[in-house]
Amino acid sequence: MMTVRLIAHTPEPEKVVAAAAKLCYSDAHITDLLDGLDEEKTARFLTMLSDLGHASPIEHASFTFGIEGVSRTLLAQITRHRIASFSVQSQRYVRLEDFRYVIPPEIEAIPEARAQFIASMNDDAKKYLELVQTLENAHTARLMAEGLNEKAARAKASKQANEDARFVLPNACETKMVMTMNCRSLQNFFNLRCCNRAQWEIRAVADEMLRLVMPIAPHIFASAGPRCLVGPCPEGRMCCGQQAEVRAKYAKLKEEAV
């Protein structure tokens, strides 16, 4: 099951961003930046930044998420957001004895397709572990012949086996990661990945991330979500045609979050 947790963030992120904005638009000294920044003045600075389209100050605040129960397919998409930091569980160093996978909803909804998918995953898991064992045994024998004792040879061979056996693992295989983004990158992420045209899995992750950051930085993320929340759909002929429903969805999400 997909899980997204907010595990760390910049303390008082909106106040930090407001202080950066204050520096840009006043003659305040560094030592005075936080003086007088109550909730009302902070909100005013953030609204001004949004109205002006001045996004660079929000880069001073960042959020770190723990994400698990997602597929390697999602990993390929999420790491395209290059202004972010990722730490991902390695299939090279972690042997998947407990093989878990993500079932796409469209497959889950069709009993015959679901049965075929699960059979394929079970076969993949079996073949993976068989290949791991074959490689480990062969590497152990070679390393012992080169002079290592059996325990040392087995330990080294195990890592070598994992490295090559992972090539048979499917995109559905589960992974987990820690991801950190600054608020400007998050805004871009939400613009792209909350859109109805985004792939279902990364859209679900994006929605949950937005739900987690809203209570902490409601002014920064007031307009966060797909671009059609604040203007026409940018997708042209590929538009989903559901702008009213999308706006209602994110209005409700934000209302519930804060």
Find the angle CA(114)-CA(119)-CA(120) to the nearest 5 degrees. Answer: 100
* 154 noted as active-site residue: no
- Residues of the chain with pLDDT below 50 are none
As a whole number of angstroms, the distance between CA 183 and CA 54 comes to 13
pLDDT of residue 181: 98
Distances (CA, A) of 74 to 78, 81, 193: 6, 12, 11
pLDDT of residue 207: 98
Instruction: Look up residue 192 and give its amino acid.
Output: L
pLDDT of residue 34: 75
Number of C-beta neighbours around residue 22 at 10 A: 20
**Identified catalytic residue from 193, 203, 211, 227:** 193
pLDDT of residue 101: 97
pLDDT tens digits for range 155-190: 999 999 999 999 999 999 999 999 999 999 999 999
pLDDT of residue 240: 94
pLDDT of residue 24: 74
pLDDT of residue 50: 83
pLDDT of residue 180: 98
